[in-house]
Structure 1
Amino acid sequence: MNRRPTLLAALALTAAAALTLSACGSDDDSSTKDKDTIAGADTGGEKSPSPSTSASASAGRPKIELPSDVTYKFEWEKTGDPVKDAVLSDAEQRIKAVDMAIAEQDPLHEAYRFYSEGVAAAGSQKYIQEFVDHEARTTGETRYYNESVVLKDDGTAALLYCEDQSKAFNKFLKTGKTDVTPVTKNAYVIYAGTLRKNKSGVWVTERLTSQRGSAKCQP
C-alpha cells in the first residue's frame, strides 16, 4: 500500500499487516467532516541507513537524518511573508522528523516532539508505533503541494496542504521488501493543521487532521 498511515485519516492495516502510510501522525477528526471538507485547517534491519541530512539543525533544533531512499518534493513556495514562511518551514521539519522517528523505530523521538505538542504529538506517537509494531518504515518520494497558510487573530496559523504518496511505500525491515502497490485516488491526501509559535520561536503543530482521496488533491 502507499506509504504513511493517515492516523489522522484512520491508519488502516490490511489482513497482511501492510500499512497505509501517511506523512505525519495526527489526531483524526474525520467523523465531523463532509466527504471533501476538512474542518478549519484549524500525519532487512536498517538501524543505521545512509543519512540525508536537513540543513535546519540550528538554534537548538534537532538534526534531521533520514535514510537515503526517503526523499521529498516540497512545492511550497515562499510567500514573502516571514511569518508564513516560518510556519511552512517548521511544518516541513515536522514531517521529516516523524519519518526519522519511523526510520529509527522510536515512537518517543525528540525530533518530532520538538515540532509538535498536544493531540498532534500524541497522534504522531501512535502513528510511529504502528510502524514499530510491524517492523516497517517509509521509502520513496513524497510530494507536498497546494499549500495555504492563514494567520489567525488568536496567534495561531492554519495550514492546509496536499500530499502525493504515489511514489512512496512501506518497507519492511526484516525482509527489506518494499510493498509497491497500484496507485489509486487514496494516494492523495489533504491535511489541515493548527500551529502556534512557542516560547522558543518554533511553530509547533497542535492539531492535525487529514482526509485520504480528497478531490482537492487529485492530479
Structure 2
Amino acid sequence: MTRSSLPIAVALAASAGLLLTACGGGGSDSSDKIQPSATVTTAAPTATSASPTQAAGPNAPKFDLPSDAKAEFSGFDTSDVEKKDVLRDVKNAILTIQEAEAVGKGNTPNIKRYFAPVQAATLSDMAIAYRKSGYTITGTVKDYRPTVKFDASDRAQVTYCEDQSHAYDKLISTGEVQKSTPSVKDYSLWRMGLAKNAAGDWQVTDYSQQKGVSKCAGS
C-alpha cells in the first residue's frame, strides 16, 4: 500500500504552480494523469536505514531515520560528470522528505539545504501536520530508472520510478502498520525540477507524482 496520510508531494507541486488531477482506480494504467500522493520518500547510495544515516562524500548530510524506514536506489550512480551531482542531490532530497515524515519536524538543516524556500516551508508545515495526525513512516521505498535533462537555463529535470508496495503509514500510539494488498497503484513516476544554489547544491523547485504507472512496475 502506498503511504497515504501525508500529501507532501501535492503540497510541493502546488507550491510550484502545478495542477494535480486524480486518476481512476482499479488495476489499469490510468496512465499517466497526475494524482495527489501521500508521501514522498528517500535516498542514499543503495539502501539506507541507520539513524542517523550519512550519505557518502565530502560535506555529506546526515539523516535521522528510524531503523524500520529504508530507501533503496538503483541507477542513480553514473560516470557522467554533469549528471552525477544532480542525481546525488536528488537522492539527498528524497531522503530529506523521508526524514521529515519520520521525525515530524520542520526547517531541518536538510530541508533548508535541498529545497528552495517556498518548497522548504511547505514541506516543513506538512511534516509537522503529519506528526500531529498521529502517523510516522515504516517500510522500504525503492527508487530507480532515473533520467536527467537540462534546459537552457541550466536547470535540471529529473524523472524516476518509485515502488511503495512495501512502504506504509504507522500509527505512533499503537505501532499499528497500515497495510493493504499491493497493486499497480504502488508504482509511480516522479518528476523533480532542480536548480543549483550559490553553495553548489541542487535544490528542489517543483515536484510531482504520477500514480499507477505500470511501466514502473519492477525495478
TM range (shorter): 0.7 to 0.9
**Kindly, what percent of the aligned residue pairs are identical?**
27
Deviation at 1:30, TM superposition (A): 4.0
Q: Provide the alpha-carbon RMSD of the alignment.
A: 2.6
Deviation at 1:7, TM superposition (A): 3.7
Matches within 5 A, 1:127-142: 127-142=126-141
Aligned to 2:51: 51
Amino acid at match of 1:72: A
Amino acid at match of 2:62: K
Conservation of the 8 A alpha-carbon contact between 1:30 and 1:209 = no
Tell me: CA distance 1:216–1:118, structure 2 relative to 1, closer, same or farther (3 Å): farther
Matches within 5 A, 1:185-196: 185-196=184-195
Matches within 5 A, 1:64-213: 64-213=63-212
Distance 1:171 1:140 in 2: 9
Tell me: CA distance 1:106–1:31, structure 2 relative to 1, closer, same or farther (3 Å): closer
Conservation of the 8 A alpha-carbon contact between 1:36 and 1:215 = no
Task: Please list the CA deviations of residues 20-41 of structure 1 after superposition, one character each: whole Å capped at 9, or x if unmatched.
Answer: xxxxx62143447994166xxx
Deviation at 1:50, TM superposition (A): 6.6
Amino acid at match of 2:211: R
Amino acid at match of 2:13: D
Distance 2:122 2:87 in 1: 20
Unaligned runs of 5+ in 1: 11-24, 44-48
Which of 24, 32, 56 is residue 36 of structure 1 equivalent to?
32
Partner of 1:124, secondary structure, is: helix
Conservation of the 8 A alpha-carbon contact between 2:161 and 2:216 = yes
Distance 1:57 1:81 in 2: 17
Deviation at 1:6, TM superposition (A): 4.7
Conservation of the 8 A alpha-carbon contact between 1:147 and 1:161 = yes
Distance 2:144 2:50 in 1: 27
Distance 1:72 1:189 in 2: 15
Unaligned runs of 5+ in 2: 24-30, 35-39, 41-48
Normalization by structure 2: what TM-score?
Answer: 0.77
Instruction: Tell me the number of residue pairs that the alignment of Structure 1 and Structure 2 aligns.
Output: 194
Tell me: CA distance 1:184–1:32, structure 2 relative to 1, closer, same or farther (3 Å): closer
Deviation at 1:89, TM superposition (A): 0.7
Task: Please list the CA deviations of residues 38-82 of structure 1 after superposition, one character each: whole Å capped at 9, or x if unmatched.
Answer: 6xxxx4xxxxx97151234843x5421211111111002433212
Deviation at 1:131, TM superposition (A): 1.6
Distance 2:186 2:216 in 1: 9
Aligned to 2:44: none
Deviation at 1:127, TM superposition (A): 3.5
Conservation of the 8 A alpha-carbon contact between 2:143 and 2:163 = yes
Distance 1:31 1:68 in 2: 33
Partner of 1:131, secondary structure, is: helix
